[in-house]
Amino acid sequence: MTPPSTHPTVDVIEATELRLVEEPPPQLPAEHRAARDRIWDELADANTALFDGPVVVCTSLTRPHPHELHLGWARVTYRNFALRHVPGATALPSLFVDVLQPTDDGKLLIARMSTATAHPGRWHLPGGSVEQPDPGRPLDIASLRGNAARELLEELDIDTDPDALTLRAVTRGNHGNIGVHFAAPPKPAAFLKGRFQAVLSAATAVGQHPELDRIAFVQSPKDLTELDAPHADYLEPLVDRYARILL
């Protein structure tokens, strides 16, 4: 049984081995599909950052051994998440990866999502939804590392070898969403700030909105209470349990 985290709505699962198995998504009755599509269209009209691209969701989560986790996944599109607003419908939870990026002076980097995203103003770890693998390619721990390293590069211009990322934890939080969290090697805070400023400058130069608009460095859950906006539900337990371990 998954032990509870210090945050009452989030389970933090310590696992050193992660096995992923593709499974078919559940078949939806016609009325649920119609309601899903109607709600998705309304959400997309209200938020132009939403797009119905391919994404991976979690279909099952089992723990056959204390340090081994089996995770079932399926291929869907983002409109699947509109099922959360359909009474009686089965809404599969999202599957995402992110990176605990420590600094040399014992803190963790967190970032705030810009107004051009699906969750404007929310603080979280650098990362994002897991992308579907190409046909014939597996979704495994190596591809999750690659996904996490790519997010770090795209969002913060930090080029990290995927093999240097270490699996630290899996969380199950709001809506049952599953997060796979990796730790990166420490880097100087000044370097991280410089790379982020370069990302902002590059986006501004071509008239684009960056995915992230601010970064901060935290060392304890108390630091999260001083943020100017809400934060992802998994952030508090990870900062509480892993910041000192990592550093």
Per-residue model confidence as pLDDT tens digits over 146-163:
999 999 999 999 999 999
Q: What is the pLDDT of residue 247?
A: 45
pLDDT at residue 183, rounded to an integer: 94
Structural domain for 113, as ranges: 11-246
Query: Residue 146: which CATH number?
Result: 3.90.79.10
What pairs with residue 95 in β-bridges?
178
How many angstroms separate the Cα of 155 from the Cα of each of 24, 51, 89, 148, 200? 31, 18, 34, 11, 10
Is there a domain that residue 66 lies in? yes
Residue 86 placed within a domain: yes
pLDDT-flagged residues of the chain (< 70): 1-8, 116, 242-247
Residue 1 lies in a domain: no
2 part of a folded domain: no
CA distances from 240 to 173, 187, 208, 228, 243 (A): 16, 20, 35, 19, 6
| Number of structural domains the chain divides into | 1
The verdict on residue 4 lying in a domain is no
Task: Tell me what pLDDT residue 244 has.
Answer: 59
| Amino acid of residue 187 | K
- The pLDDT tens digits of the residues spanning 16-39 come to 789 999 999 889 999 999 999 999
- What pTM was computed for the model? 0.90
Determine, yes or no, domain membership for 5: no
Residue 3 lies in a domain: no
